[in-house]
Amino acid sequence: MSTHKTGSFEILADRITIDPEICHGKPCIRGLRYPVELILELLSAEMTIDEILADYADLERNDIRAVLAFAARLTQVQRMQATMV
């Protein structure tokens, strides 16, 4: 059974901020200078959420959930086109 709630993305996405003065305008968690990409890299390196929270005391569990929701939304594209480099 799915626990997804309508509007949960919007609630979590409020934790993701984009400010040209912080981290060169990259999406960050609550303006704390933790880019979304950093948390995704840590998770992809097999760090657990609890390990990340232990290493970064000013982060909250919902911050990590917001990063995942933000990344999931970014993957919802209509079409991808390969380009030759």
Residue 82 lies in a domain: no
Residue 59 lies in a domain: yes
Residue 26 lies in a domain: yes
- Torsions phi, psi for 56 (to 5 deg): -125, 85
Mean pLDDT for the stretch of residues 50-61:
97
Please report the pLDDT score of residue 3 as a whole number: 44
- Supply the range of the domain harboring residue 59: 8-73
Residue 40 lies in a domain: yes
Residue 29 lies in a domain: yes
74: confidence class by pLDDT, cuts 50, 70, 90? confident
- For 40-49, what is each residue's pLDDT tens digit? 999 999 999 9
Residue 79 lies in a domain: no
Segments in the chain forming alpha helices (H): 8-13, 36-44, 49-55, 61-74
Residue 1 lies in a domain: no
Q: How many domains does the chain have?
A: 1
Give the C-alpha separation, 37 to 25, whole Å: 12
pLDDT of 65 > 50? The answer is yes
- For 4-24, what is each residue's pLDDT tens digit? 454 566 666 689 999 999 999
